Amino acid sequence: MTLPPNRPERDTDWIDRALDDLAAMPVPDASGDLMARVLGDAEALMPPPGGVQAVRIPLWRQIVQGLGGWTAVGGLVAAAATGFVVGLGGFDTTGTDTIWSLGYGTFYEGEGALAAFGWDFEEG
Amino acid sequence: MPLDTDPQTDDAALLARYARGDAAAARTLTVRLVPRVQAQAMRMLGDVAEAEDVAQEAMLRLWRIAPDWREGEAQVTTWLYRVVSNLCTDRLRKRPRSRVPLEDVAEPEDPTPSVEAKMQTDARRDAVRRALADLPERQRLAVMMRHFEGASNPEIAARLGISTEAVESLTARGKRALAQALKGQVSALGYEG
């Protein structure tokens, strides 16, 4: 990079000259030994013909990845389990059918008897 | 070593072919890139053996990255330029200071190259190289591309992926920083007046 003639000297013009001096220094051609070393490295590191084979991922891992990873799968499992339990008890929203199915019928009978006792008492 | 046998194919395409196991692509890239890489390292380091080591290391990194290289993201030559610049900078920073201070090297009296003249030239270049190595990376790259490769501002802008105005600013700041770093040695460098 040469400076234009008749231009006033700037503070950094000497830096231009210093850099140009560095750029103009003779540089030897790359030696045959260097080229051979570089080619040797290239051959040692060269992937097999066709390139690096894609790693085969098992189907179940592809599905997990497709669903968003293990965290997402955990959430899905928890949601499914909750839905199953809620679904089991869903045929009676008060939950009494579930309680009946578990054998608590005597409790309701006792409650009924107590109510009847109350009516009897009021009627004298 | 034969000349570039595939001048029509760009570097990125050759690198992609190398990544698929094409040995001819490796040879073409070596012939094409090693002289440039070695010349850059030589200018930055001023030592043939060190420049060759840096050139080999930079090319080794290129072979390693080849399978993951994404075409269109960067030019191979710019990527290499940056790698070489950083490798040379590391070496310059670790290098012991010159055994003979620049101020102590006698100014040659006759124009015939002498041992003293060579020593002064070497010391002068060494001082500039060290100052260059201390610049922030982008300033260093912009200044080097301008002066070592004769690249224009738009060319440097395209290679670094920045605006032309940013290149102007980088080179101006880089040169001011160099002038500041070498301020006390202007006379010894032989650039006074």
Would you call B164 helix, strand, or coil by DSSP? helix
Query: B31 and A35: CB-CB below 8 Å?
Result: yes
**Which chain B residues have a beta carbon less than 8 Å from that of A17?**
191
Does A65 have pLDDT greater than 80?
Answer: no
For chain A, the domain total comes to 1
b vs e for B135-169, b when ≥16 Cβ sit within 10 Å of the residue's Cβ?
Answer: beebbbbbbbbbbbbebebeebbebbeeeeebbee
Is ipTM strictly over 0.90? no
CA B61/CA A101 separation, integer angstroms: 72
CATH 1.10.10.10 residue spans of chain B = 101-193
Q: Is B24 on the interface with A (CB under 8 A)?
A: no
pTM > 0.80: yes or no: no
Q: Is B146 on the interface with A (CB under 8 A)?
A: yes
Give the phi and the psi of residue A12 in degrees, each rounded to 5: -105, 10
Domain that holds residue A97: 69-123
Q: Could you tell me if residue A101 is inside a domain?
A: yes
B80 in Cβ contact with B62 (< 8 Å): yes
**Which chain B residues have a beta carbon less than 8 Å from that of A10?**
none
What six digits make up the tokens of A79? 């949601």
How does pLDDT run along chain B (193 residues), one tens digit per residue? 556 777 788 999 999 999 999 999 999 999 999 999 999 999 999 999 999 999 999 999 999 999 999 877 788 999 999 999 999 999 999 888 654 455 555 555 555 667 777 787 888 889 999 999 999 999 999 999 999 989 999 999 999 999 999 999 999 999 999 999 988 877 777 776 4
The CATH T-level fold of domain B101-193 is Arc Repressor Mutant, subunit A (1.10.10)
Angstroms from B116 CA to nearest CA on chain A? 17
**Could you read off the pLDDT of A19-55 as tens digits, one per residue?**
998 999 889 999 999 999 999 999 999 988 876 654 5
DSSP category for residue B184:
G
Question: Which residue among B1, B56, B191 places its CB closest to the CB of A17?
Answer: B191
Q: Could you tell me if residue A109 is inside a domain?
A: yes
Q: Which CATH architecture has domain B1-95?
A: Orthogonal Bundle (1.10)
